[in-house]
Amino acid sequence: MRREYDASRDNHALKPKRIYDPIHRFIELDAGEVTLLSSPVVQRLRRLRQLGLAYLAFPSAEHSRFSHALGALAIGTRAFDALRIHSPEAFASERDVREKRTLLRASLLLHDLGHGPFSHACEAVLGVRHEERTHAILQLPELRGALASIDVDPDAVLGLITGAPEADPVLRELVSGPNLDADRMDYLLRDAYFTGVAGGTYDAEQLIESLRVLEVDGRPQLGVDGRGVVALESFVLARYMMFATVYFHHTTRAFEHVLHDVLAVLWPHPRALDDIAEFLGWDDFRVIDAIRPLEGEGVRALRERYTIYGLAAEFNAERDLHTYEACEQALRARWGDAVWSDSQEQLLHRLPLGSAGAMPTVRVRLTGRVVDARIASDLIAKLSGKAYWRKLFVRTDVASVDEARAICAEIIETGGQPRLL
C-alpha cells in the first residue's frame, strides 16, 4: 500500500532552502515550497531524465526533470519580477502580486508531474498524455495539503499547466506557452549546457528584462519591448538549433523507436497503468531494471547501446520531400520492412492553434504601437512556419548501411530520379 507523505516527519521540510544550480546559481525556496518539493511525487522527477534516451548520443545528458522543474521556477520567477518592475499597472495590489507569484512558482515546480518513464515513448504506448496524468496527481491528498499550506488552489495550478482559457493570460503564457514560457526558457539553457551544444543558448537576461504586459484588444497579454527583439530572435534560433542538433538527433530517434517496441512488451496491458498510484510507481530506473531479465535485441540495444538501425540518409528541408520519398521507395524495394522512415516536423515559433497563420506569434511594442513579432523581425517571420527533419534507417542485421547510403546518395545527386542503367 502506498504510504502518504507527512512533512511533519521531516524537520528540514519546514525550513527555507537555497539550492545551487549550474544554470541559475542559487534558487531560493520558502518553507512552504520546500514542503511541496519534498513530496514523493515531486521527488520522483529525480528519476525521470529530462532528455530521455539522448544520453546515448550525448553522454552528459543525464539531467532530470527535477532539476528542470527547479530551473523553470527560478527563471519564471525572474520573468515575473521583471514584469512587476516594468509593467506595474498589470497588478491590482501588492497582495495581487504575492498571490500570483506564489501560484506561478508552484505551477512551474509541478508542471512536469504527469510525465512517465522516457516521456514521449511512454505516452505513445500508454495512450495517455502527461497533462491528463497531472490532473489526477493534483487530486492526491499529499499535494492538495502542501498546496493548501501556501494558499494555492490546485485547480488554478492545473489551469496554468494545461493552458485553460479561463486562466490568467499572462501567468498561463509563462507556464504553458505557446512562445514565452519559463518551461522553454529553462530547458533550452539546461539542455544546451548538459549536451554541450553552444547553439542552444540565447540572451536570457535581455529577453527577461524586455518582457512586458501589453494590452491587446482590452486584454492583458505577455509581450516584448522593442529593445528585446534581438534577444527574442536568439530565443527562436536556439529552439531550432536544439531540435536540429539534439531533440531529433538520429541516434536518439533510433533508440526511441526501439524503446517504443520494448515498452509495448513490458506493458502488454497498458490500461493497467491508468491507476495513478501504479503509474507513479514507474520511472526510468524501474524500466531499465524491469527489462534487464528480458530477452531480445531491443533489450540488448538499450542495455548495451547495441545499434539496430543505421542511418541511411536525412533530409532537413520541406523541398526534400520528393527526394525523401524516392529514397524510401528505393530502399524498401531492396530490403522491404527492414527500412524505417522517421518524419518529424515542428513549429519553431508557435501560432495559436487553428489560426492558419493569421494570429500573431509574440506581440512587440515598437515606438508606441504593438505589432506582431513577424513585423518587428524578418528573421522571426521566416522561422514562424514548420521545420522538417526526415530520416531513413535500415536494420543493420538485414541491410548494409553503406549500400543504403550509396543508394540514397545516387538518388539525391540526380534530384530524386534513379539513374538509367
Q: What are phi and psi of 387, to 5 degrees?
A: -110, 150
Exposed/middle/buried for residue 49 (C-beta within 10 Å: 0-12, 13-18, 19+): buried
In 298-320, which positions are buried (b, 16+ CB within 10 angstroms) versus exposed (e)? bbebbeeeebbbbbbbbbeeeeb
116 occurs within a structural domain = yes
d(CA 110, CA 29): 14
Report, as an integer, the average pLDDT of 375-403. 91
pLDDT tens digit string along 222-239?
Answer: 999 999 999 999 999 999
Share of the chain above pLDDT 70, in %: 92
Residue 285: band (very low, low, confident or very high) from pLDDT cuts 50, 70, 90: very high
Give residue-wise pLDDT tens across range 39-91.
999 999 999 999 999 999 999 999 999 999 999 999 999 999 999 999 999 99
In the chain, the number of structural domains is: 1
CB–CB of 23/186 below 8 Å?
yes
Please compute the mean of the pLDDT values over residues 370-388 and round it to a whole number.
87
Rounded alpha-carbon distances, angstroms, from residue 234 to 25, 212, 359, 366: 22, 18, 22, 18
Is the residue at 347 inside a domain?
no
- Please write the tens of the pLDDT for every residue from 113-170: 999 999 888 888 998 888 889 999 999 999 999 999 999 999 999 999 999 999 999 9
Within a domain: 411: no
pLDDT band at 12 (very low <50, low <70, confident <90, very high): very low
More confidently predicted of 207 and 217:
207
pLDDT confidence tier of residue 370, bands split at 50, 70 and 90:
very high
Is 161 inside a domain boundary? Answer: yes
Q: Is residue 181 part of a domain?
A: yes
For residue 359, tell me if it sits in a domain: no
Which one has a higher pLDDT value, 3 or 290? 290
pLDDT value at position 416? 63
Asked if residue 311 is part of any domain, the answer here is no
Domain interval for residue 23: 9-270
- Residue 357 included in any domain: no
Q: Look up the CATH number of the domain holding residue 14.
A: 1.10.3210.10
pLDDT band at 356 (very low <50, low <70, confident <90, very high): very low
